[in-house]
Structure 1
């Protein structure tokens, strides 16, 4: 078993915190898109694809697929960002975009969480 260095744990935790957002997005899209007919009791008169349950379910399913794909791509991107940070910590030359992208992602995450907390 390989030993995890404290700085590697910090990088992994920092990127892992960012990963909460796409994971939550995927979970929401699966619950409210793929399983729409099971979690929404109706009536479906004003729902997208309504007024029938089948139409509303199909519309929500089709709309959720691109968002699930985007969430999965975001997770792949975060994995690559983590690997870039770990390579830099191992002594390789850091790519110029790693630090600005990380700061930009954290700023965006802070704005998203702030906006979400204000509307709750």
Structure 2
């Protein structure tokens, strides 16, 4: 006899479902294609002479670059956390979680999990912001109230990228 009862919805269960479930994976996919879609939209709007729409598409491409950078950092954290003893084999005495390899791996894996979760939610926000910058229908202007926020996010992403490159 099958039970058709569903478990009660809790905030934790909803958070996990939106992070590692279909909504989270869909947000990552949409964030990855945000750059090429926005770049194509920019070229199309520029060829039609619609400068305002081209500007919003250019900001969408900037958001796409920020999204790719977030995917890069979170993938690096996930791989480094999962494979720490294999990727960074050295003296574990001075490593986080050392002096044993198991402790060092556990410490790095424990740091990777919140980074990946935060990355999924950041990507969801970038996708939503990119959708707000697009014109809602053919020929209608974009919602300009989101353009300053998009510009701020792109500038913050550029600062983060430059600082990350300097620490390499």
* TM range, smaller chain: 0.7 to 0.9
Does residue 63 of structure 2 align to residue 15 of structure 1?
A: yes
Structure 1 residues 64-73 or 32-41, which shifts more? 32-41
Does residue 57 of structure 2 align to residue 33 of structure 1?
A: no
> Cα gap change, 1:73/1:79 in structure 2, threshold over 3 Å: closer, same or farther?
same
Larger radius of gyration: 2
Partner residue, 1:46: 94
Distance 2:108 2:165 in 1: 25
Give TM-score scaled by structure 2 length: 0.59
Of the three residues 153, 156, 167, the one matched with 1:105 is 153
Give TM-score scaled by structure 1 length: 0.79
Question: What 5-or-longer segments of structure 1 have no aligned partner?
Answer: none
Question: What 5-or-longer segments of structure 2 have no aligned partner?
Answer: 1-39, 46-52
1:87 is displaced (CA, Å) by: 4.2
